Every structure is written in C-alpha cells, then in structure tokens.
Amino acid sequence: MNGKLGALILLFGFCTSLLTPVLTQAQDTIVLHCVRQDTALGTMSYSSPETWHDLDQAGQQDNWLEHTEFYSNQERRATTCVFDWPEGLDPSHVQNMHMHVNYRGTRRNAPHWYWTLRQNTGNWVVVGDNETASNQQGDMVFEIPGSPAAYVQDGEIQLAYRTAGKINASALNYATIELEINETTIFSHHVFIPIVQVQTGGEPPIITPTPTPTPEPPPEPPTWNEVGTWVYQLSDYQNDQLNQIAAANFDLAVIDLARDGSSDFFTQAEIAALQETNKLVLAYFEIGAIENYRPEWPDVPGDLKLGAVSGWAGEQYVKYWDERWWPIVQGRIDQALAAGFDGAYLDMIVTYEEIPADAAGTNRNDLASKMVDLIDRASVYAKSIDPEFKIVPQNAPELYTWPKYLPAIDGLGMEELYYLAMDRPCDKSWCIENRDNAAAIAGAGNLVLSIDYANEEANIADAYTQSLAAGFVPYVSVRNLNVMRLNSGWPPD
C-alpha cells in the first residue's frame, strides 16, 4: 500500500500468535454449528447435523432434506444437538450468547415448541419458543440467559428441540449458537483484536492489548438438599415484579405460575433473573381443583366439577382421575417448563379426602390411589422433559404409604404443622399425625417445607423452633400468602 495516501484503514484480524492458531481469523462473533444429532423421542424426517448449518429456506419453502420435522403421532417429541465449544476460548470472555433459529410452524400452544440448553448442573433451561412464529420460515434470535460458562461441559453445549404436542406442525431449518466476544478476546495461544485502526505511511504502532480480567463467577444456587430457607407468596407481588423476592436471601421461592393468577404468566427471563440471585424457584398450581379466574376454567366440562371448596366460593373440586382433566395438568407443567422453573408445587392434593367417598363410584382408599397416580403421572411427564424438574405436593403426607408416591416426589410442602390461621396452635390428633407422616417423608430423604400462619412473635418463634428440630425447612406468613415476610430473628434475616 502506498504510504503517501495518508489515510486510515481498518485492519481486521490483527493477531499476535504464540503457537499454531486455534482460529484462523479474528472475529467479534463466533458461530457454532451442530456436530452431532440424536432423536430422543418421536420420529424425525431425514435429518443430520448439517441440516441446521445453512439458512437456506424462506417463506413457504418445504424441502424436507433441509429441515427437521417430526411426523409421528407421539405424545412427546424431542431431538438434541451437540455444539463443540471453540478450543481455548475462555467462556468468561464471551459477552453475550445467542441462539439463532429459522423456524416455520404454528404459534405457541398449537402446539408449543421450545428450545432448551443443558446447564453443567444437569438442569435444562428454556431459551426460546415459538410464541412469535408464523407459518412462514422466519428468523428468531434468543438471548441465552446467565453466564455462558454455565452451559459448557466437557467442551460441549447441548441443545434440545422439544414439544409435548402431537401435531405435525414445525420445520426447523437452521439452529446455531452465536458467541459475541470481547473486543480483546484471549484464547489459550493467542490474543485476537477484532478491529484496530492503523495510520498508514510509516511503521504501524506496536499494539499491546490489555487482558480482559476474569470476572468472579456468580454464586451457585443451593443444591436441592442444601435448601435451608424458603419463601411462599402467591399474589400481590410488589409492582407486579419479583424484585422484592430476588433481593431477599432465601434459598427457594414458591410463586404462582402466573403473575396475576390468571393469564399473565411470568416469563422465562423473569424466572432466570430470580434464579440468578442464588435461588431455586417452584411454580405453584393446583391439580385437584380449579379457581374460576384461571384461564383453563372455561375448558373444564361442567360434569368434571364437584362443588365449591370449603371457604373458597370461586374454587371447585374436580374429578382429577378423569382423563379429560389431564390436559389441564399437562398444560400447566408445560408452562412451568417453558418459563424455566426448577419444579412444581402441587396444591389441592387433599381433594381426595374432602370430596364424597363415593365420588369416583368407589371409596376413599381408591380416591387416594387415584391421586397418587396423578402425582406419579405428572412426575414422569415432567422428568421425561427435564430430569431435574422437582415435584413437590402440598399436604396429605399420609399418601407416602402408597408405593408410587415417594419415587414420584422430591419434597413435600406442609401447611399448619404447628399453627393454624389466627395464631391458633395445631394440637388436634390430625396435627400430630401430619407431623409424624411428614417426618417419615423427610426420613426417606425428601425436603419438607413447613408453612405456618402466625403473627404473634412468640408463636412465630415456636413454629420455627419446632420445625427446625424436626428437620424441616420452616416459613411463617399470613394465610392469604400475599406478602413476602421476613421474620425478625430467623433466617434469612
């Protein structure tokens, strides 16, 4: 180049190499492609790792050799792909990580397709879905939450493409993971400087890049058996957000599946932000009854409803053993998985003992067995999608004597073990039975969460003291569960 031009040029890929390059050109975005593919559930059309490499379908194009499509009538379908992490790239030097897909199909819930990434803890995290899709091939880019290091294990990233629907209604033509690297990204053998301005005419300056400091890794959430504190709030979230719960130092939070209890569901980004504050998060919903403000209320046939729940006029018991009820439960599990919850907190298990004993044309013992079957079915379904998804029923601890029950659950929530509403001590015979049965479940290695309703300081202290002595994880709040309460003198205060 003629040095007399005296102009500025952009020099791309200026590189000081110590050994043989790991990557041959500097770049500010690195695109990872699928290298291995596996059909985990269902049957796919012709597909290979290369199917997702090229963005070469648009509009209504339907070359089945260029996209992944399921065509069997399976209840659940999934395929996984493995992406190799660039050799020598420190994940801490990646500013942002995105997933880029080209998808054609129906919008969410008709059926719901979604993409999950496996964290190195074993959890699968939903990073995007077909909520904004149309029946045209279209690009969708999803920001992957959290630290990139959380998704790298043994030099690989694992992506799963899933649905719980039976409709043949999707075509995935392209799927990549894109890494946005720092302006100066340090590989194991090189320093890459993506863009450098150099004055022509004369010797180029000597460039000494400043190494990017490695940030402190974020705190890891507690493992399931390490949970020592929890919070339980189902409504009236401050400013309709989860910031107040995020700012408190609880290990686990149980919140409603929906922000307003109705149709405004918490998003995947909101749940991920809460999890990043070192918390596990469970989604509350009922499996033995339904409230009249839930979005599924109009879809429940009248003959499935068995009358109002005592004290809650807008809530109806349901025939939970009827096959027509399962899609409601399944849809709620799907919503919890799509939002990235760590598990489900299942309420109204007590329906089996509060409805007439012959409601199923049988007896109380059969009603109990049918409730255990529903809990087991919910557990099998959820864990087939995310093996780390937790199942925590609330109340009815006596069900632990049924063979299917303990293998299906990861924990138990117990109301009013020590104090009923209005600061009344729980001293009836059934209180003692509940405590004994909860202790048996804890003794089998399950987490037991106790929630008591008290306002007097002495009663709050007594509930915490007794629960901790029994090996449970205590929390004391108000009966409506519409506040996040910190009890002075007790963790995490």
- Do 256 and 381 fall within a single domain? yes
- Do 153 and 242 fall within a single domain? no
- Do 52 and 145 fall within a single domain? yes
- Answer yes or no: is 88 within a domain: yes
- Do 290 and 401 fall within a single domain? yes
Q: Is 1's pLDDT higher than 50?
A: no
CATH number reported for the structural domain that contains residue 90 in this entry: 2.60.120.260
Task: Dump pLDDT digits (tens) for 230-278.
Answer: 999 999 999 999 999 999 999 999 999 999 988 899 999 999 999 999 9
**CA-to-CA dists, residue 316 to 323, 332, 351, 414, 492, angstroms:** 17, 17, 10, 21, 36
Task: Dump pLDDT digits (tens) for 267-303.
Answer: 999 999 999 999 999 999 999 999 999 999 999 999 9
What is the span of the domain harbouring residue 82? Answer: 29-181
Nearest to 32 by CA among 71, 102, 79, 83: 83
Q: 């002595």: which residue's tokens? A: 469
Q: What are phi and psi of 64, to 5 degrees?
A: -70, -10
Tokens of 332: 């709620």
111: cis peptide before it, omega within 30°?
yes
Tokens of 70: 């399921």
Contact 166, 330 (CB under 8 A): no
pLDDT the model gives residue 165? 55
- Answer yes or no: is 209 within a domain: no
Q: What is the mean pLDDT of residues 395-405?
A: 98
What mean pLDDT, rounded, does the chain reach?
82
Nearest to 490 by CA among 470, 480, 466, 481: 466
Beta strands 447-453 and 411-415, pairing class:
parallel
- Do 176 and 280 fall within a single domain? no
- Answer yes or no: is 24 within a domain: no
What band does 7 get if pLDDT is binned at 50, 70 and 90? Answer: very low
- Answer yes or no: is 3 within a domain: no
pLDDT the model gives residue 197? 34
Task: Dump pLDDT digits (tens) for 419-459.
Answer: 998 899 999 999 999 999 999 999 999 999 999 999 999 99
CA–CA separation, 65 and 51 (whole Å): 7
pLDDT the model gives residue 45? 55
Global confidence as pTM? 0.60
- Do 233 and 173 fall within a single domain? no
Question: Which of 157, 181, 205 is the last residue in one of the domains?
Answer: 181
Q: What is the mean pLDDT of residues 391-404?
A: 98
Domain count, the chain: 2
Q: Is 322's pLDDT higher than 80?
A: yes
CATH number reported for the structural domain that contains residue 321 in this entry: 3.20.20.70
- Do 238 and 175 fall within a single domain? no
- Do 176 and 236 fall within a single domain? no
